[in-house]
Amino acid sequence: MKILTVIGARPQFVKAAVVSREIKKRSGISEVIVHTGQHFDASMSDIFFEEMDIPRPDYNLNIHGLSHGAMTGQMLEKLDEIILTEKPDFVLVYGDTNSTLAGALSAAKLHCKVAHVEAGLRSFNMKMPEEINRILVDRISNILFCPTDTAIKNLKNEGFDNFGIKIVKSGDVMLDAALYYAKKIEGKAAFLKKIGLDGKKYILATIHRAENTNSIERFSSIIKALNEISKFEKVLLPIHPRTKKIMEANGIKPSFDIIEPVGYFEMLELLQNCSAVMTDSGGVQKEAYFFKKQCLTLRDETEWVELVENGFNTIVGSDFDKIVGAYKQLSEKNPDFGSMLYGSGNAAAEIVDNLIENSGE
């Protein structure tokens, strides 16, 4: 049995590595990895693959820096060639990027089975390109690996029970990854010592989404709120290159602490040791939960509604008063982090078991 995995961004490499490690444990199954190059990431050096225990791609298409149409079109052209050459039993895609859509679309058109990891997620905001991608990929897949009950409910509400598609509650591969890599840094605080935060209290913040960085009104309001909160508690922001450009172009001067972008291990260390998280990142919202941290989400909606419904996450958008008010209420909340919203950390095994089981159908 052969699986062809299509990925195009650093977070997808981390997720796919979890499943790749499980594939290697099984006999009679092989994997071919295709990196589309969608998100060019200079930090994905040799050290990245070695430290993260991530397999290197068999194909690197180096397609990036284009409009979504040109990018997806070029990916389709190249992926058609690879799928026809490799003849996989399944094409495995992750998440909601253009690479995800191109991988699924190419496979479906060539009558190759598609499996989608992180299926069923919905923000219900069709202005988000990711929302369009995930809906289309779900519809043309053969197996949908859902991280949560909410994801399964979304699919059933959209009529997926009628489409002859297998829906599996697999749990979340990001939990598998967080548990695996957390063990590698257990008992260490090297990065915190390096930046002078070892043993100190701080809030971890991240801002990078286009809805916040493309609107100077939203962006300024968020920065103003973080400035206000930093009067009560240290705020630390590893700065995204896009965020840095917006700040410099508009003369915005934050009064909280800013550091350069960090790698995955450094981010895990920051998450493990912070007092709370403020972010517009989907992945960081979940990781905050994995490490038992309350989160304020700097967006108007989230795909991870179960975090909000269970009191782990508060949606604050970009409104100054909402952000500051929610921060002041954090100490009053005591959510039960003993719940298992995203499974028990064995999503990869569940995924590989189902791929093997359905390879001959």
In a domain, 119, yes or no: yes
My answer on whether 296 and 350 are in the same domain is: no
My answer on whether 167 and 195 are in the same domain is: no
Q: pLDDT category, 98, cuts 50, 70, 90?
A: very high
Residues 285-319 pLDDT 10s:
999 999 999 999 999 999 899 999 999 999 999 99
- Between the alpha carbon of residue 14 and those of residues 126, 175, 283, 300, 360, the distances in Å are 27, 11, 11, 27, 28
**Contacting residues for 137 by C-beta, under 8 A, at least 6 apart:** 93, 96, 100, 101, 104, 114, 116, 119
pLDDT, position 137: 98
pLDDT, position 42: 65
Q: Which residues are catalytic?
A: 208
The helix/strand/coil state of 25 is helix
Q: pLDDT category, 360, cuts 50, 70, 90?
A: confident
My answer on whether 32 and 113 are in the same domain is: yes
Q: pLDDT category, 49, cuts 50, 70, 90?
A: confident
In a domain, 151, yes or no: yes
My answer on whether 120 and 237 are in the same domain is: no
Q: Please, how many CA atoms are within 13 Å of residue 266, restricted to the half-sphere of its CB?
A: 16
Q: In what order do the strands lie in the sheet with 313-315?
A: 257-259, 235-238, 203-206, 276-279, 295-297, 313-315
The helix/strand/coil state of 239 is coil
pLDDT, position 289: 97
The residue segments making up the domain with residue 207 are 188-332
How many domains, in total, are found in the chain?
2
Q: Are residues 99 and 7 in contact, defined by beta-carbon separation less than 8 angstroms?
A: yes
My answer on whether 156 and 17 are in the same domain is: yes
My answer on whether 290 and 328 are in the same domain is: yes
Q: Are residues 173 and 351 in contact, defined by beta-carbon separation less than 8 angstroms?
A: yes
In a domain, 180, yes or no: no
Check pLDDT > 90 for residue 223. Answer: yes
**Better-scored residue on pLDDT, 210 or 18:** 18
pLDDT, position 361: 67
Q: Are residues 137 and 116 in contact, defined by beta-carbon separation less than 8 angstroms?
A: yes
In a domain, 71, yes or no: yes
Structure tokens at 13: 């490499």
CB burial readout 116-155, b (16+ within 10 A) else e: bbbbbbbbeeeebebbebbbbbbbbbbbbbbbbebbbebb
In a domain, 266, yes or no: yes
Average pLDDT, the chain: 93
Q: pLDDT category, 44, cuts 50, 70, 90?
A: low
Check pLDDT > 80 for residue 1. Answer: yes
My answer on whether 206 and 300 are in the same domain is: yes
**Better-scored residue on pLDDT, 3 or 264:** 3
My answer on whether 166 and 23 are in the same domain is: yes
My answer on whether 222 and 265 are in the same domain is: yes
Phi and psi at residue 146, in whole multiples of 5°? -95, 135
My answer on whether 291 and 144 are in the same domain is: no
In a domain, 258, yes or no: yes
My answer on whether 350 and 328 are in the same domain is: no
My answer on whether 206 and 325 are in the same domain is: yes
In a domain, 341, yes or no: no
Q: Please, how many CA atoms are within 13 Å of residue 247, restricted to the half-sphere of its CB?
A: 16
pLDDT, position 43: 63
pLDDT, position 45: 61
Q: For residue 116, give the CATH number of its domain.
A: 3.40.50.2000
**Contacting residues for 103 by C-beta, under 8 A, at least 6 apart:** 6, 34, 36, 75, 79, 91, 93, 114
pTM for the whole structure: 0.88
Phi and psi at residue 159, in whole multiples of 5°? 85, 20
In a domain, 136, yes or no: yes
- Of 43-57, 107-121, 158-172, 282-296, where does mean pLDDT reach its minimum? 43-57
**Contacting residues for 43 by C-beta, under 8 A, at least 6 apart:** 10, 261, 263
What's the rounded mean pLDDT across residues 320-327? 98
